[in-house]
Structures are given as C-alpha cells and as structure tokens.
Structure 1
Amino acid sequence: MIYPQNFEQKIGFDQIRQLLKGKCLSTLGEERTEEMAFSDDYNEINRRLEQVTEFIRIIQEEDEFPDQYFFDVRPSLKRIRVEGMYMDEQELFDLRRSLETIRDIVRFLQQTDEDDETSGENSPYPALHELAGDIMVFPQLITRINNILDKFGKIKDNASAELLRIRRELSATTSSISRSLNSILRSAQSEGYVDKDVTPTMRDGRLVIPVAPGMKRKIRGIVHDESATGKTVFIEPAEVVEANNRIRELEGEERREIIRILTEFSSIVRPQVPALLGSYEFLAEIDFIRAKALFSIDIKACKPSFENRQVVDWMEAIHPLLQMSLAKHNKKVVPLDIELTPKQRILLISGPNAGGKSVCLKTVGLLQYMLQCGLPVSMHERSHAGIFSHIFIDIGDEQSIEDDLSTYSSHLTNMKNMMKYCNGQSLILIDEFGGGTEPQIGGAIAEAVLKRFNARETFGVITTHYQNLKHFAEEHEGVVNGAMLYDRHEMRALFQLQIGNPGSSFAVEIARKIGLPEEVIADASEIVGSEYIQSDKYLQDIVRDKRYWETKRQNIRKREKHMEDTIARYEREIEELERSRKEILRKAKEDAERLLQESNAKIENTIRTIKEAQAEKERTRLARQELVDFRQQVEEIEKAAMEEKIARKMEKLREKQERKKDKKAKQQNAPAAQPVVPKVLPIEVGMHVRIKGQTSVGQVLEINGKNAVVMFGLMKTNVKTERLERTEAPKQSALQTKTTFVSSATQEQMYEKKLNFKQDIDVRGMRGDEAIQAVTYFIDDAILVGMSRVRILHGTGTGILRTLIRQYLSTAPGVAHFQDEHVQFGGAGITVVDLK
C-alpha cells in the first residue's frame, strides 16, 4: 500500500519515470515504464533487480547485443485478425526486422558456457536466460517475408509469377514510350516547333513534351497542363496516348497483385497472431530492462544486499535527481549513511532549517520506492536493504479550499490514515512532525501519535524541531535521535546525518548571521528562558565534540591503513629479497656444476692419454693425484667465488632498497621540483619534420603563421606547426630506385575495388538517414576509384528522398555537378552526379 495517491510526485518518482521513458527504443518499452508499479513480493523484486543487473553487464562488457530494430507492430497484428485485412509493405518490413531482432536476442540470451542450452545454470546471464526461455522466434515466417520483400522493404519482382509478368510488360511499355517520345521530340526540334534543349517530362504520371503555346497545334496530341507563367504547355503526343493508358492499366494490375500477395501472406500470419503478440511482449520487456540498465549506469546505481525482511542499513546513499541537478553545476551530493534496526526503528531527525532534513527523508522514500519497483539504487553495494509492505509519506502543504482542509488538518488526516494501516512491515516518512498549529498542543499531539507508531513497531524517518519529541526518543526504545550537522564557526550546513544525538536548530546563530538586531535576539532568549538556551548550547557542544572525535577516529583509521600498507610493502620487499637470494644461489650452483663437469672431462681425457701411452703405475698414480688436487682447488675456488658473488648481489639489493627509501623521504620533505621544459627549436622552411607520434618524414615548403605546408612524399598537406617536430632526412638505400607511399598490396586492392565498383546505387525504400549514409559512402568510394560520373536511383514518390540527397550533394566537396537523368533512362527518379 502506498499513501497518499500523489506519493510518486512528492518523492520525485514521476521524474524518474519520464527519464526512463526517454531511454526506451520504442512504444513497447514506454508502455512498460508507465505500467511499472510498487511491489512487496520479494521474489518478484529480486528477479527484476537481477535482470537489470545482468543487462548492465551486457551494456558494459558486450558489443554484439542486438538492439537495432525495436518496432511496435502489435496494432498491425491486431488489425489483421479481421478476415480480409492485410499488412502493407512498411508494416511487413517492420515485422521482419523486429522478428529478426527477437530471434537474435533470444539466441544471445540462451548462450551458455557449455553445450547444454536447456538449462540456465551455465548461462552468464541466468535471469535473462530464464526470461527468454519460452519465447517463439518464427524462423519460417521470416523466410516467407524474405521471399516477398527485398532488403529495402520493397515487393520483389519474383514475389509471384503474375507480378513478374506485369513488371516486365510495364518496363517494356515504358521503354517503347520513351523511344517514341524521343523520336517525336527530335522531329519537332528539327521542324523548329520545340527548342533544342527541351526534354520530355512527367505530368500526372504521363510522359509529355513542353511546347510553346504558339506551337501547340503543330504537335498532334492532348494538352495536359501548362506552366504557371503560361509560357509552356505540356502535350502528350497521340502516338503514345494508348501506350500511356496501358501503363496506367498495368500499374493498377501491379497494385492489385501486390495486395493479393499481402492478403495471402496475412492469412498465413493470422493463426499465429497470439503467439506473435507474446513474443512482442518479450521485446517490450527487453526494451524496458534496457532502459532501466542505462538509467542505472547514469546514476551509478547498483543492487545492494537485498533481504526479505524490514531493514534499512545504507551506506553512501544519494538522491539520484539531486545528484543529476548538482552535476550540471559541477557540484556533488553529500552521501547519506542511515540505519534502521528493530531496536531503532524510528529515526527522529532534528537540526537547522535548510540543513538537509527534508532531502534526507525524500532520499529514503525515493530509493526504497525505486528498489521495490525493480530499479537498482544509488548507494554503496555493501548496503543492506529490505522490503516494506506499506510506505506512507506526509510532506509539504496539503491545504485544500475545495475539501475545506487547512495545512494542519491535512497533516492530521495523514496521521489518522497512518495510524489506521501501519504495522511492523510499514515505513512512514513525515516532514515537520506536528507542525502547522500552536507549538505546545502540536508537540503534544505529535508525541501521542509517535507513541502509537512505536507501539505498532513500524519503521520510519521523521523530521521535527520539537524538544518534547527529542526527549521522547531518548527515553523510549525503538526511537532514536538523529541530527543534521551544522558548522557553527562557518555558519553553514554540512548536510551530514549523525545518528545518536538530537540536533540544535541553531536559531540564535542563524538570526545573528542574517543580521537580526542583537537586542531582539537577547529579548527572545529572555522570553524562552536561560534553561532552553543552555540546553540548546549543550546540544551544539555535543554535536561539535562528536564531530571532533569522529574526525580523530577517521584520522586514526587512515594512519592505521597507511601503516598496514607500509608493513605489507616491506613484507613484499623481504619476499623479493629472499627470492633474489635463492635465484643467485641457484645460478651460482649451476655455474659451479658446469665447471666441475668440465674438470671431470679434463680428468678423463688425461687418464685416457696415460693409458694410451702405457705409462708406469707410479707415474699414473701421481698423475691421478695431481688431478684430484686440481679438482679440490677448483671446488674451493668456485665456492669462494660463489660466496663472494652472493655477497655482492645482496649488498646491491640492500643499497637499492636504501636508495628507494632515501628518495621517497626526500620527495616527501622537499618542495615540488620544477619540471624541466625542453627547449623547442622553431620549424623553418626546408627542414625535415614529422608529425608527433608518427614516422613519415616530410619537408617544409612554406610557413604561414601557425600553419606549415609540408610535402610528405607526393602529398602536400597543411599542418599546425605545434604538431610537428624536427627529424633527420630519410636515408636513401643504394637499391632504392623508386619512392612511393602506397604499397603494392594496397594498389592491388584499389585495382580490384575499381574493377568491382558499380556506378549505380539504389536507395529506394530506405529511410532518409539510411539513404544519406549510403550515398555518402558511395560518393567517397567513387572518388577513391576515380569515377567521373555515377547515378543515384531514389525514385520519384513524394520527392522527399530526392530533396534530401540533393541537399547533401550540394554540400559534398567532391561533387562538381548533378542533374536529372534523361527521361528515357528514368528522368526525375534518378540523379546523375559528375565528380571532380
């Protein structure tokens, strides 16, 4: 239960809803955003939060999620449920693309880490995998649409045999008319009836010849129209009238055949409409989840530890709307730490006006409501959040002339409803508790109401200035005081909540800061009595002392953390020294072993020599003894060398560690050293330079202020001098006979691209932005391969596509001229472009 009805408006959730709608890709997601509602079902809320959390990972980690075509074709599908109704070409085109998107999304979400796709346990996104589990994707329907529509959404010629015959006859008839008309035009031009530069044009869908009014009787035919000035009439020669009539007939047959194809297809789709609508509900849910994920990323939201009980243990909680508002002015929100437990269920916040009490209350209300609507919230991920069955709020002025309610009456009405429905699973949020009437009775009624709230074990956040309520919180378990901190010396609010002690209103201090006369302040202090002033002063001192010791505690924490980091660093250095010592010993042992093996080889060679010389036994014994002595000497030498080497290595490591410590100490104690700015030599004409960060070397031809003209190979370019740096002239090898900046592989690719380049592009059926992008790439490729003329087929239609393309061509630097194609080859439906 949510109370009152304008709860969302009071806490700002209506703005959150509008921001979410702006993140949606279609009306599918916008409808889900409007339907989003508060829930007290723990499993449902947890499922929604998991879905959004997984989608945040998809946005941040994946590049291939299919979110291109989110079209709402549900109205079209519902319409064709009536027998005889059909979807037009555009609706069919949107159906195909959106079905492909649904198919790709389901395929993406059903991927698993192993081959088993039947279970979501191995899926990287288990909640979304479950959501996509039973969704139908209609591959056969997509194939049928592909047989009817081309890639631009137009009916294919071979969609049916009859349509193919009609379009072929239509093309042949059009060509015949064009030939006849051009023959008549040439004859009229030779007779002088028509100017030499006149070309056939279209009027009311029929090919006609522009003729001066005085010559209109020279050409036999039908006058269809005249120009606005009356200086030109448009005549359809009698020879082509029948052919034009045939074209009209064929166009009608073409349209009827297209309608028949679409009607037949709609009959196939009709039985599958319920299943299709179910798939589009899935698409709507994905659009909605995606919008929530994008919004969560914007406000740096997360899913806290969500528990199926009543708990508020939040760290670094931030009001998202306030954060977005302050970010525009490069300011930051002071995070809120708040805790409500079964022993401290109701938090009574006091403190100065404009100190952040209402913001604190609205933050609690908005974040809890967002959480139970399935939205991640802007707080630390180690926070603990629970679930409440009812949320009540009383904030602002609710006086109403129509309902005969004063401000205080509206507050009492809200209190009555809260006491009637609240329980241990409720969260109440009350601003300026007991305000709006005479303070003494208002405070008494507020205390009595607070007693009922506490007896019902409800949870809540309440702001107040009443002293009796502060005393009530100190004396009753379940209610705890809290204060919004205020810097008494700088006279400014700190917007920090501190739980445990009540806060002072700082009324006297604020009055002095504003400039109220001192005698007025003294008179007011005398009226309330010294006891009140002293108690308020004690509260201020308590808050000040608590802030002081809290600051001390934080500093001690920082120092302890610094000590722990230092100890850990020293331990790592000792481990590194130990590893280095072991590595030195290992290498020394290997060197000694290798030397001993060489000595053994020498001994064996000596023995073999003695045997071959058949020497005397005594001499052999002496030779062996000499070799044994030699081996012992080698071992002693190697042992001594190894120990000396280890000692040197250890000494070097110790010196290195001492240097590091001395350097760090000097850096901490010495003032910051001034950076050495290298002297930059000026760039001059004739100098060899290169662009910073690149390797190509060029030569400066001229300098114009801060710009330089540089020749890189065969290419001359303007570059800012600050982007250039001096370098040596490139060395020419003896075998180098030709300088080029284009590799042979690139030349072969360009040659192949030129061979395969088509001089025509068809953008019919595309949307405006798609057509402009396609034409842009087409013109760039044409200039790249050196084409002098290309053609753009955009059709006539309403003329919007033609106008957009020509607006672009008029601004394209590589375009020299453009005009309509000759009427025989398409006329105004094709633009011919001459390139520079």
Structure 2
Amino acid sequence: MQIDKLISGLDLTSYIEQFQSFFSREENLYIQGDQELHYRYIKALDKLEFNTPPKVSDFFTIKNHLKKHGVLQFEQIFELVKVVRYFRYFKNKNLECIIGEWVEKIEIPQKFLEVEKYFDIQGNFEENLDENLFGLGQKIKEQKNEISSSLKRLMGSQKLSGYLIDTQIHFINNEECLLVRGGFNHVLKGAVVGRSTAGFFYVAPDVILKSKEKIRFIEQERQAIFYTYAKDFSKILEELLPFINFIDKEFSKFDNYQARVLFARSKNLQIIKSKNHKNIVLKEFIHPALHQAKPISVNFEKNILMVTGVNAGGKTMLLKSILAAAFMAKYIIPMKLNDVKSEIGTFKDIDAIIDDPQNVKNDISTFAGRMQQFSQIFLKKQALIGVDEIELGTDSDEAAALFKVILDDLISRGQKVVITTHHKRLAALMADRDDVELLAAIYDEKDRRPTYEFMQGIIGKSYAFETASRYGITHAIVDEAKKVYGDNSEKLSLLIERGSQLERELKHKHKQVDEKLEELSKKELALKDEREALHKELEREKLKLKASYEEAINEAKKAARGGDIKEIHRAMNKANQKLPQEQKTELKRPYDFKVGDEVKYHSQSGIIVSMKAKSDATIDINGMKVRVKTKHLTPTKIIKQKPKTDIRVNVEKKAGLTCDLHGMRGDEACEVLDKFLNDALINGWDEVLIYHGIGTGKLSHAVKEFLKVHPKVKKFEDAPAHMGGFGAKVVSL
C-alpha cells in the first residue's frame, strides 16, 4: 500500500503504530469529510476531561447479519450496547460546547433500551429478569453443590486415602477431578482425563456423572431460552438498522477525535492541521524517530528547497522531517513543534524518493530506478516531493543538466520539491531562480563536526575529507586525496559558492528596489486620487457659494420692489446673513533656520551650531549643547555664517573590497598589501577581505605578521567557510 510505503520511508512506522493503539477499534488514518470541521471538534474535545471509550469490534459483520435476518450472538449485541452507553455517558455530562451540541442530537430509540437492559456492565446476561432462567440457574447451583459434596465424601474415604496425592478438587478440561497415584482403579471408578508432570492421574469419578448429566440437560434448556432472547433482540435491532448505521458512523468520527486528543496528551504533542496554501514553515519541529534531537526550524515557501552541505549533517533527516510534518498535518496526527509559529500547507499527494531503487532481480540499475520514480512524479499534480541524493547513480555533470531541466518542468506543473544534493553545479544552475531556496548544513570547522543546523541562502560544502577523517580514515590517505583533488578544484568550489551567494544577494536587492518603486507608484496614485477628490470638493463649494449669492440677490431684489425703506433694510440684513462670511486666516511661513542663527529655546537663548535635516538642530546655551526640534525655537538675531574652507582630495579609486595574494612571495605580498590597505583607508572602507591561500603556510604567516604591526588595523580573523575559511582573512580598519 502506497501510504504504508511512505510511512516506512519517512521513519514513522513505530510512531503511527503507537498512535493507532489509542483507537477503540481499527480506523483509517484519514478522516473523511470537512477537515476544518473535524479540527474544530478535536480542539473542542481537547479542552474536556473524559473517560476513554471502550474497545469495540467493527460493526460490519453485525450489520450484514441483520440485513440477512440473521441471529446475533450476545457478544455481538453487547458491542452495540457499549457504543450506545458511551454516547449516553457524554449526553449526561451536559456539555456546553460543540461536542455537547453534537451528542445531544443523538437520539437513542426506546426499543434499544428494551435490549440494553438485559446486559450488565461486563456484558453478562441479567438472568434475574427472567423467572425461568433464574430458576434453572438455581438448579444448576444445587447440582454443583451436590458434586462438591460427593467429591468431599470420596476424599474422606479410608479406602481412597492411600491413593490421593492431595485433598483438592482439580478442574481439567472443565471436569472436576481428583489427583491420584497408580492402582486407584481397585478402589475408585472413573475416567482418566489427564496426567500430571509427576506421572499421577487426574480422574473424574463416576459418582458425580448423574449430577453432571442433570446440569447438561438444564444448560440445554437455558441455551434454548437464550436463543429465543437472541432472536427477539435481533429482530428489534433489525428494525433499528438505520440507527445502528448512524451510531456506527458517529462513533468512528468520535474514535478518530479522541485518539488524537489522548495521544497528544500522553506525549505532550501539538495538534495542527494543514492550511489552504502551499507554504511550509516549521518552528522547533522534532521528528518522532529522533531522541534528544535539535529542533528543526525551516521556511519553505518557494517551489524548490535545495539542501546542500556537510556529509552526515542531517540533510536526509531534514527532508524526512519536512515531508513527515506535511503528512501528519494532512491527517491531523499530533506532532512535536511550536504550533503558534508553524504553518503547513495542503498537498494532494506526498511522495518520497529516498531509498536506492537498484533491483538485481528485475535487472534495474540505481539510475534507471530513479528515472522510473521520476516518471511517476510527472503524473501527479500539486504534490510535495522529497528526493534524497538526487544525483545518485550517474555522472555528475550530465546529472546536473538533466535534473535542472526536470526540476524546471516539475515547477511548471505546480509541484513542490525538497532535494538533498552534493552537486554544487546543479545547485549553481538552480540558484538563479526566484522560486528556489538554498539551504546549507553547517559544519563546525573548529570542532571538526556537523552542527545539525542549517543556514538559508547559501550552497554548502560537503566536507568529504573532514568526514572521512572523523569516521576513521587515516590522515595519510586523506592528505593524499586532497593533493589529488588539488587547489584549483577547491578554488572552483569556493567561486561557485561565492558567486551563487552574490547572485542571490543581488536579486534580493533588485527585489527590494522593485518593492520600493511599487510603493512609490502606489503613493503617487494615492496623491492623484487625493488631488481629484480635493478638486471635486472645490467645485462643490463653488456651486454652494454661487447658490448663496443668487439667493441673497433675490432677497435684495424682492426688498427693492416693496418700496418700504424699513422693509428694504430688513431684507438686506437677511440677504447679508445668507452670504458666506469671510474667514480671516493668517498664514505663517515656517522660518528657515540656519547654522549661526541666534535663537530662543523656552526661556534660554543660544546659537545654532549644527543641523540635521530641517527639523532637528543642536544649539549652544552657555557652553552646553542641546539637541532640539526647530519647531520649539524662536529666531532672535541672525548672525552671518563665517566662511568655511572646503578641501577635497581626489584619489583614484583603485582599491577593491578584496585583495588576492595567491602565488606571491612574502615581501612582495606585504608591499601589495600595504598599498591595498592605504587605498582602502582613503576610500573609507572599514572592512576588507584578503585571500592568501593555505599552501605551505609561509605566505599566511607573512600576512599575519604584517597585519599585527600595521597601525590602522583594528583586528583580523579567519574568514567564514563560504568566504575562504583558513585561506583568507577578514580585516577591520
């Protein structure tokens, strides 16, 4: 089964088995229906205290028997009773939440109560509710007492006492027996039903056969009554088949909910579900197969996540962790992570290409097997794919070109892919895409071991030589391998890593500029909209003003036609009131402060000695300098600024941020380095990078000694791994 293969490939088998042990009966991992609604019920149940549901069997066989008008056994009927009683237990809790609303809607038919009352809490039939059964039960007790008395009388017999091993009544194959030694047949008639380890005989005496026969007849009569009840119960339950189908479905849902809640509580896990997007953001995630592991935090929002870096640095487990988290979120399986800061998208399919597909039986190579696996991926849509060691099984240069095109095609199909690789060429080919995220496993060069941590945005080294030494390969072999590998190959690797990093940094800066331009465009559009709104407001005010003037003129004309002087004055006053009143506004132009102005700040007088922009100024008040806002200043007396002499030195900028001393002698390198540092100081740089290589160490020693005595060097240290490591120095000036 595909899901079982995925679970095994992601090292989740043991974890899923533990999870499934919390179910009351065997259920599918995936809950059919609205996942958002299921998640709400799970979170609501997680807030409640409740008893664990009983273990019950599947209702498939029970429902088929009822459909065919069959007769159920009491054990099967009790399985139904257990489920109904558990739901009644929840109904009696009177919960005020969506769980309470849900169970409240479950109506238990009265007819089912007629069946349920005949079973006690352990599932035994309540015989005291039937007079005949109760009477037959008493008769059986009487016969058993008679058997016990007969056996005790036998054991008290002097004839048999010499043959008895002990004075106990043994039950062998459901038969009451005495344990006796050989020769018992002279004094005891009975059937041998077994032998002890010491060679003695278990004998069922004939004196109790009559009582046993009576019990057998009584039991037959009881079983006939039980069968009658079973037929009656089955007939009632057949009529209640729609209710049984309903309660079966509801219990399956509840079983899925409670298993997740109780499993999370037992291991202090978090319950999250996948969200309606394609991003994966994990914070402090711990894979279930790891013990005392470092929590993983990764941001996988792009189409491709390419993981490079040190061997045995945790790349494969990171891949499995990302896929495992997506799988568990899809199936709402509890996991260990920071649920507040983590988000996991929804994927139709999740697939892992991890193991070596080589198969001798089918005559298939590693690379051919990989191609078969990739051909299946092309058939999927909106899937999350994990590929471990993508270059496995073929030439590295050919593989880089092939897998570059394959990954481009997968991106166009909407797939999301996590890859681990040691191919710097493939990583460099993919690094120029905006939808590819690089992640490098970090190596601690000081302690010479992986840190099991990751850094985004760079291509990592594999540290094959260091890993070989750490796992027991002799230094002589490793040193010889380094010579074969050569300095040029090492430089090429550094150039690929550095070039990829610079390219991604440049793209990031371009993206920031584009975002700034877009923001400015939005502000420009907003200003245009504001200007248009103000223009419309001005036009409305003009129309209102025109209407007011026309109304005032009409009032004046009306008064003039009346001829009465007093009436004319009253009309004119009324017209004047309707005219818009003039508002006197005094516009203040902000004073343009300059250095040297004499100003007043509250009750103190001072002089502006410097300014930052137009809003901030530093003033000198009786020898004390105070930085204030210019809006709090009042100009008093303007003092002409003294002329200043501006001296500018034009220096040809020949220096760069880096200085490469490879291949130089010590004295020659010091001379070049001295000129480089002088140019860097004139150009205003405070940090530079010097490449001297590792080699024999003479050039490195000369550079260190020169830097120690240089008066303008504050400090220097070995460069980070991706910038040259021990073969370079970062110098602070």
TM > 0.5: yes
The answer for the alignment partner of 2:5 in structure 1 is: 6
The answer for the alignment partner of 1:759 in structure 2 is: none
The answer for the alignment partner of 1:481 in structure 2 is: 438
Deviation at 1:384, TM superposition (A): 1.9
Question: Which of residues 342, 355, 364 in structure 2 aligns to 1:405?
Answer: 364
Q: Structure 2: where are the runs of 5+ without partners?
A: 503-733
Greater relative contact order: 1 or 2 (C-alpha under 8 angstroms, separation 6 or more)? 1
The answer for the alignment partner of 1:145 in structure 2 is: 116
Match of 2:332, SS? coil
Distance 2:224 2:31 in 1: 52
The answer for the alignment partner of 2:229 in structure 1 is: 261
User: Aligned runs of 1:467-546 on 2, under 5 Å?
Assistant: 467-511=424-468, 514=473, 515-517=475-477, 519-526=479-486, 528-529=488-489, 531-532=491-492, 534-535=494-495
Distance 2:411 2:148 in 1: 93
1:104 is matched by which residue type in structure 2? Y
User: Aligned runs of 1:181-200 on 2, under 5 Å?
Assistant: none
Deviation at 1:462, TM superposition (A): 1.6
The answer for the alignment partner of 2:330 in structure 1 is: 372
Q: Is the 8 A contact 1:319 1:363 kept in 2?
A: yes
The answer for the alignment partner of 2:131 in structure 1 is: 161
Question: Which of residues 379, 403, 413 in structure 2 aligns to 1:446?
Answer: 403
- What per-residue deviation string (whole Å, max 9, x for no partner) do you get for residues 120-156 of structure 1? xxx1xx3x4566465444465245432x345654444
Shift in alpha-carbon separation, 1:467–1:141, aligned structure 2, 3 A? same
- What per-residue deviation string (whole Å, max 9, x for no partner) do you get for residues 486-534 of structure 1? 1111111111121111112223444565424465144223275463254
The answer for the alignment partner of 2:390 in structure 1 is: 433
Deviation at 1:193, TM superposition (A): 7.7
Range moving further from structure 2, 2-11 or 92-101: 2-11
Q: Is the 8 A contact 1:454 1:479 kept in 2?
A: no
Q: Is the 8 A contact 2:303 2:435 kept in 1?
A: yes
Match of 2:36, SS? helix
The answer for the alignment partner of 1:307 in structure 2 is: 275
Shift in alpha-carbon separation, 1:165–1:84, aligned structure 2, 3 A? farther
Match of 1:65, SS? coil
Deviation at 1:366, TM superposition (A): 1.0
Deviation at 1:395, TM superposition (A): 1.9
Q: Is the 8 A contact 2:319 2:388 kept in 1?
A: yes
The answer for the alignment partner of 2:517 in structure 1 is: none
The answer for the alignment partner of 1:358 in structure 2 is: 316
Deviation at 1:165, TM superposition (A): 4.5
The answer for the alignment partner of 2:39 in structure 1 is: 49
Q: Is the 8 A contact 2:31 2:253 kept in 1?
A: no
Distance 2:5 2:18 in 1: 18
- What per-residue deviation string (whole Å, max 9, x for no partner) do you get for residues 81-129 of structure 1? 54462423x4445543443123213544x621xxxxxxxxxx1xx3x45
Question: Which of residues 272, 276, 300 in structure 1 aligns to 2:244?
Answer: 276
Match of 1:23, SS? coil
Aligned CA RMSD, in angstroms, stands at: 4.5
Shift in alpha-carbon separation, 1:416–1:79, aligned structure 2, 3 A? closer
- What per-residue deviation string (whole Å, max 9, x for no partner) do you get for residues 629-660 of structure 1? xxxxxxxxxxxxxxxxxxxxxxxxxxxxxxxx
Distance 2:420 2:121 in 1: 63
Distance 1:367 1:411 in 2: 24
1:103 aligns with 2:88: yes
2:40 is matched by which residue type in structure 1? E
Higher helix residue share: 1
2:46 is matched by which residue type in structure 1? I
1:414 is matched by which residue type in structure 2? Q
- What per-residue deviation string (whole Å, max 9, x for no partner) do you get for residues 530-574 of structure 1? 6325437869999xxxxxxxxxxxxxxxxxxxxxxxxxxxxxxxx
Distance 2:69 2:81 in 1: 21
Q: Is the 8 A contact 1:48 1:374 kept in 2?
A: no
Deviation at 1:406, TM superposition (A): 1.2
Q: Is the 8 A contact 2:273 2:331 kept in 1?
A: no
Match of 1:353, SS? coil
The answer for the alignment partner of 1:645 in structure 2 is: none
Question: Which of residues 447, 456, 465 in structure 1 aligns to 2:422?
Answer: 465
Q: Which has the larger radius of gyration?
A: 2
Q: Is the 8 A contact 2:349 2:383 kept in 1?
A: yes
Shift in alpha-carbon separation, 1:522–1:377, aligned structure 2, 3 A? closer
Deviation at 1:289, TM superposition (A): 2.7
Deviation at 1:407, TM superposition (A): 1.0
User: Aligned runs of 1:297-696 on 2, under 5 Å?
Assistant: 297-298=265-266, 300-304=268-272, 306-322=274-290, 326=291, 332-341=292-301, 344-381=302-339, 382-422=341-381, 425-456=382-413, 458-511=415-468, 514=473, 515-517=475-477, 519-526=479-486, 528-529=488-489, 531-532=491-492, 534-535=494-495
Distance 1:481 1:226 in 2: 81
Q: Is the 8 A contact 1:53 1:302 kept in 2?
A: no
Question: Which of residues 29, 34, 43 in structure 2 aligns to 1:36?
Answer: 29
The answer for the alignment partner of 1:23 in structure 2 is: 22
Shift in alpha-carbon separation, 1:77–1:306, aligned structure 2, 3 A? closer
Distance 2:152 2:413 in 1: 99
Question: Which of residues 203, 207, 216 in structure 2 aligns to 1:236?
Answer: 207
Q: Is the 8 A contact 2:391 2:399 kept in 1?
A: yes
Q: Is the 8 A contact 2:458 2:497 kept in 1?
A: no
Q: Is the 8 A contact 2:90 2:100 kept in 1?
A: no
Match of 1:310, SS? coil
1:288 aligns with 2:256: yes
Distance 2:207 2:134 in 1: 28
Deviation at 1:362, TM superposition (A): 0.8
TM-score (norm 2): 0.56
Q: Is the 8 A contact 1:66 1:104 kept in 2?
A: no
Distance 1:450 1:135 in 2: 52
TM-score (norm 1): 0.50
Q: Is the 8 A contact 1:350 1:465 kept in 2?
A: yes
Distance 1:436 1:248 in 2: 75
Match of 1:475, SS? coil
Deviation at 1:485, TM superposition (A): 1.0
- What per-residue deviation string (whole Å, max 9, x for no partner) do you get for residues 205-245 of structure 1? 8999x9986678xxxxxx554798799994539xx96x876
Distance 2:89 2:139 in 1: 40
Alignment: residue pair count: 487
Range moving further from structure 2, 227-236 or 280-289: 227-236
Distance 2:383 2:236 in 1: 54
Deviation at 1:200, TM superposition (A): 12
Shift in alpha-carbon separation, 1:145–1:528, aligned structure 2, 3 A? same
Deviation at 1:350, TM superposition (A): 0.9
1:67 aligns with 2:18: no
Q: Is the 8 A contact 2:468 2:478 kept in 1?
A: no
Distance 1:520 1:182 in 2: 92
Shift in alpha-carbon separation, 1:388–1:455, aligned structure 2, 3 A? same
Q: Is the 8 A contact 2:306 2:419 kept in 1?
A: yes
1:264 is matched by which residue type in structure 2? D
Fraction of identical pairs, as percent: 18
Deviation at 1:19, TM superposition (A): 2.1
User: Aligned runs of 1:663-812 on 2, under 5 Å?
Assistant: none
Q: Structure 1: where are the runs of 5+ without partners?
A: 113-122, 217-222, 327-331, 543-836
Match of 1:36, SS? coil
Match of 1:480, SS? strand
1:467 is matched by which residue type in structure 2? K
Q: Is the 8 A contact 2:459 2:501 kept in 1?
A: no
Distance 1:448 1:142 in 2: 68
Q: Is the 8 A contact 1:512 1:518 kept in 2?
A: yes
